[in-house]
Each structure stands twice: as structure tokens, then as C-alpha cells.
Chains A and B, each alone.
Chain A
Amino acid sequence: NAGVMQNPRHLVRRRGQEARLRCSPVKGHSHVYWYRQLPEEGLKFMVYLQKENIIDESGMPKERFSAEFPKEGPSILRIQQVVRGDSAAYFCASSNSGTGETEAFFGQGTRLTVV
């Protein structure tokens, strides 16, 4: 029973390049959440998607960041023109329901380093 799979685990990008982070939720889960963890800080909510729809993107930076969760395939977090401040661990979580009492299962994260 595969859990949430994120790839790559580690990603190095030069300033100005694009970063694409992938998240395959637990089989059957249609709710995906992305979080970012900066060094020495807790995870911060970025975006909540439910199959093809963005439900809440209140934590997403206004520029350069976008997320999608297509009908087929993994969820993608895309960061255009990366800057050093984007270096962080990005975690994806999924759940089978959108209610607050549903357990969210987390992936191992993608550690993005911008050089």
C-alpha cells in the first residue's frame, strides 16, 4: 500500500531556472496539500487542491509559484525563475476527504536547493 510519493527527493537548480516538484497521492485520495518548510521553521501551508481544482491557495506566493492536480497523473508544484529564498523542503500530503477530521498522509518531501 504505497503512501504519498514525492520526487525528486533532492533537486538543485540555478537561479532563474524552473523547478517542478511531483506528488503522487495515496491511491484513491483526491485531496492534495502542499507545504513548505524553511530552515528552522515549521511547515507552512501553501495550497490545497482537489482533483483539477484549486480550493485554497492562500499560502502561495503571488508570483512564480503554481500548482496543479490533473485528472490523470501526479500533482505538480511549479516554481519559475527560482531564487535563493526558494531553497526549502516541500512536502505534499493527501487525504481521502476534505474534512478537518481526516488524517493527512505526508510524503518524504523534496529538498530544493537554489545555487
Chain B
Amino acid sequence: AQSVSQHNHHVILSEAASLELGCNYSYGGTVNLFWYVQYPGQHLQLLLKYFSGDPLVKGIKGFEAEFIKSKFSFNLRKPSVQWSDTAEYFCAVNVGGYNKLIFGAGTRLAVHP
């Protein structure tokens, strides 16, 4: 069965630090990959997505992610975090067909001023 692993459950950073959140998936075929963010008290919002093409995708708010097929990874990065990036981040995949998403357990990021 397909699964998604997020290695960091809690991350604490100071403002201006660089961020990298790991995401690995298990599926040998074609996948669509997503990162969602959930700010406190709000709904999940799409940060970025990868379907095909350039494996380095850029999303909103300065986030980017790189799809490395050989490593089954889709890590999220941001060069300099802000206090407003404090949120929970979810990696997700679907394996084509329709929009049935398989989520990782999430990473809670706390950014201190």
C-alpha cells in the first residue's frame, strides 16, 4: 500500500534560519505530490504541487520543493523562515486516477522571533 513518511514531527527554528522538511513516499509508479500547510485555526492550504516536468517546484510564500525520483522524496525548503511560517505542514501524494490523497503525519513548525 502507498504511504508517506515525514521524518520530523516537531521542528523549532529561529527567524531567518533555513528550513528543510523531509518527505518520502512509497509507490513505484507515477505520483502527484503536494505540500499543504495548516496555520493555527485555519483550513489546509496548498503550498505547492508537482505533477511532471521540472522537479524543482516553487510555491507560495517563498517555499520550494524538489522531487527526487530515485530517492522517492519530495522535501520542502525555505531559505529564511519567518515567525508567520509557524504552522503544521503536510506532505501528500495521489497515485493518479482521482484526487484521493495519502497524507504524511505532519510536521509542526514553530518559528521563534
Contacts and interface: CB of A to CB of B under 8 A. Distances in A.
Asked if A and B are interacting partners, one says: yes
Given A42-B105, A100-B32, A100-B94, A108 B100 contact: no
A3 B9 CA distance: 28
Interface residues of B, number: 28
21 contacts: A3-B43, A31-B98, A31-B99, A33-B100, A40-B105, A41-B105, A42-B103, A42-B105, A45-B100, A91-B43, A91-B44, A93-B99, A98-B99, A99-B97, A100-B32, A100-B98, A100-B100, A103-B46, A104-B101, A106-B45, A108-B42
A77 interface: no
A104 B102 CA distance: 13
A95 interface: yes
A25 interface: no
A31 B43 CA distance: 18
B95 A106 contact: no
B97 to A, nearest CB: 6
A83 B42 CA distance: 27
Contacts, number: 68
B51 A56 contact: no
Given A40-B105, A100-B32, 15 more contacts: A4-B43, A31-B98, A33-B99, A35-B103, A41-B105, A42-B4, A42-B6, A45-B100, A45-B102, A48-B99, A56-B98, A95-B99, A100-B94, A103-B49, A108-B41
